Amino acid sequence: MPITLSGISNDILSTTIYEIRDEVAEGLFETTPFLSMSRKLGKIKSFSGGYKLVVPVETKVHSQVTVLDSGWEALDLSVQDFTEQAEYDWTRIAIPVLISGREEAENSGDRAVIDLAEARFKNAMSALMRQVNTQIVKGGTTFPTLGSLNGNSGSTTVAASGRTDGLLEAIDPAAAATNTMGGLTRGLIPGLRNQWETAGGTLAMADLYEVEAKASTLLPAGGDGGRFHLTLASPNAYVAYRNLLFDKERYVDAKTLDGNGVASLAFSSGIIAPERAADVSAAGDGRNSFMMLNLDGVQLHVHNGADFSFSGFENISGYDGRYGRILFMGGLTANHIGSSALVTNAEA
């Protein structure tokens, strides 16, 4: 049995963490725009189990039109299944929160031990959330089954991994998409091909407006009617965008400020926010400058029992210490990508 010099039981220490967990998660989500806006807008979906995340996708027209010249023509009653099932993997990951008996002894007093536990928990939570965010935005982590927005074959991360399931491709939407979407061939189906535009090395407002106009003609069924709820911009692309606005820029209200107080600019139906994880290390169109997302078509599914959930502290058998773990289980899914867009090569 480990020696607990502080006299604080695992139950009491765990209860302290449970009480601050929502506050910590809320604050840390603000540093990751995709997670933050998805949560604020209620676009994160929960699930309770299953071997796969199964999402219905409309790919065909259910029935046929009949021309009624005289009014007595027989209706064409031929029908076909209009949906297919996209199947996505989920990932389950954990990060430990550990305190040794020596550290408890060195931190004199119960309050000091509680402060140490809170600091360790916040540090571990932040690390786990950054990793989840990096996989979603960029890919290339040790848990690729979570899925990724990055489907640009010219980007450094995708080129190195060879994966062909990223959602946003740098391909003209008039051409057949090459990546799969939940195991489905995207081909020439408009709703399964994201909009794409290259800025050619110099950003113009027309680059953003063009993809917004095209994406707005392909809104997903059952959504809230918004266009781009969130645009993730690489830091340099964000600066280029602001430089185009000059005195015309407008800020969203204070409730949409991120956790460190940096204002997010209003754009389309939502905001445009800088994203450090954007993959811009390649040259030319391998740079993902703007990921423009309709969050009704691209959504994160999170297990309702592992939404960055803390397990509570317990003793470590054979060691002088205790630990708890923070769990995340989920997967990035899509049922409509035509309403989202990618703009490349806009770095100043």
Count of positions (residues) in the chain: 348
Say what the pLDDT of residue 338 is: 94
Tens of pLDDT, residue by residue over 277-318, are 999 999 999 999 999 999 999 999 999 999 999 988 898 889
Say what the pLDDT of residue 50 is: 85
Judge whether residue 2 has pLDDT over 50: no
User: What 3-state class would DSSP assign to 71?
Assistant: coil
Kindly list the domain boundaries of the chain, sorted by start residue: 10-60+84-137+302-328, 148-300+335-344
Whole-number average pLDDT of the chain: 85
Say what the pLDDT of residue 6 is: 54
Judge whether residue 179 has pLDDT over 90: yes
Single-letter code of the amino acid located at 234: S
Judge whether residue 223 has pLDDT over 80: yes
Indicate yes or no: pTM above 0.75.
yes
Say what the pLDDT of residue 40 is: 87
Question: Which of 57-66, 105-114, 196-205, 220-229 has the lowest average pLDDT?
Answer: 57-66
Tens of pLDDT, residue by residue over 139-171, are 999 999 999 999 999 999 999 999 999 999 999
DSSP string, 227-291: S-SEEEE-HHHHHHHHHHHGGG--BPPGGG--TTSPPPEEETTEEEEE-TT----SSGGG-EEEE
Average pLDDT on 165-189 reads: 91
pLDDT band at 200 (very low <50, low <70, confident <90, very high): very high
Within 10 Å of residue 173's Cβ, how many Cβ atoms? 22
Average pLDDT on 267-279 reads: 91
Higher pLDDT, residue 263 or 16: 16
**Tokens 């049922």 belong to which residue?**
335
pLDDT band at 28 (very low <50, low <70, confident <90, very high): very low
Say what the pLDDT of residue 339 is: 95
Say what the pLDDT of residue 295 is: 96
Judge whether residue 92 has pLDDT over 70: yes
Closest alpha carbon to 278 in 286, 266, 270: 286
Judge whether residue 27 has pLDDT over 50: no
Pairwise CA distance, residues 282 & 119, whole Å: 37
Pairwise CA distance, residues 113 & 105, whole Å: 9
Each as own residue / partner, the long-range contacts of residues 174-178 (CB below 8 Å, 24 or more positions apart, any chain) are 178/153
Who contacts 146 (Cβ-Cβ below 8 Å, separation ≥6)?
Answer: 90, 91, 132, 135, 136, 330, 331, 332
